[in-house]
Amino acid sequence: MSLSLHGCGFTGSGEADHIKALIKLHKNEQDEVTILIAAVDMGQGVKTTMRKLVSTILEIPIEQVIYHHPDTNLVPDSGPTVASRTMMIVGGLVARAARRLKEEWQPNTEQLIAERYQQPEFIKWDQATFQGDAYPAYSWAINIVEVEVDKRTYEVTVKETWNIYDVGKAIDEQVILGQADGGQLQGLGYGYLEKMTRKDGRIQHKNVTDYIIATTVDTPIMHNYLMDNPYPLGPYGAKGAGELTLVGGASAVAMAIEQAIGKPIKNIPVSPEYIMELMTNE
């Protein structure tokens, strides 16, 4: 079993002093609303969740909400797509802008609403002493993994996993659960399959033939659950997910293998060769 703690937002004074995120919503004369942010959808579902957020607040069909791939010639600097900050920080600004637009709504009229990030007063951070609140909130997870280890070949089979995630309020449950499936599988692969060899500063692997990653064949039955624990300053209570679905899998599978073989695991990935060394070297 693995208990994961994951910060969301940006460390220390990064959001307030360096990024200073700016977002805009543009409504045209046809009452279509374009989300202008720098956040990139890399498969985590941002285009879906942001459009859903705006359409829900404005009470308009999601088809009227437009979110193009970001073009730096057109969008303001809302900060990087990193550190689980997209929904909690950028989404929070988008939600604020949408509420303002709703209050100021003028049908068939072009309107532009802008919002810039302001650090909540309760977050205090001293960059000189590195003391204070490094993050505005935390996301949590528990990962439980069941494995079988072949006594002759030392191969590991991951049978089943149980995963609980506290991401505040899920804007779109299907998006988060899909991210949980992918993140968990990546974490498991990191824990018992993905061995990287370096020589003279160069990675020796060239492709997936000699660098093994988890595939469909390695995918166990996964039970993913979401804990509803809203964060007051996030949009509808949302916190970050990001790496949370990944970080617990490797340690959980290593701990499960350790229980199965009765030997302490000190390195990952826990490959068959490593297990054989542990079992044969007394």
For the packed helices 173-192 and 244-261, what is the interaxial angle rounded to 10 degrees? 40
Indicate whether 258 pLDDT > 90. Answer: yes
Query: pLDDT tens digits for 216-255?
Result: 999 999 999 999 899 888 888 898 888 889 999 999 999 9
Residues 35 and 47 sit within 8 Å (Cβ to Cβ):
no
Residue 151: pLDDT band (50, 70, 90) is: very high
pLDDT at 11: 60
pLDDT (average), residues 197-201: 91
pLDDT at 15: 82
Indicate whether 6 pLDDT > 70. Answer: no
pLDDT at 7: 53
The ranges assigned to domains in the chain are 18-116, 137-280
Task: Pick the closest to residue 46 from 58, 57, 32, 35 (CA basis).
Answer: 35
Indicate whether 4 pLDDT > 70. Answer: no
| Intrachain domains 18-116 and 137-280 with the same fold | yes
Q: Which CATH class is domain 137-280?
A: alpha beta
* Lowest mean pLDDT across 10-19, 23-32, 68-77, 198-207: 10-19
pLDDT at 122: 79
Indicate whether 12 pLDDT > 80. Answer: no
pLDDT at 48: 92
CA 36/CA 14 separation, integer angstroms: 21
Q: What is the CATH number of domain 18-116?
A: 3.30.365.10
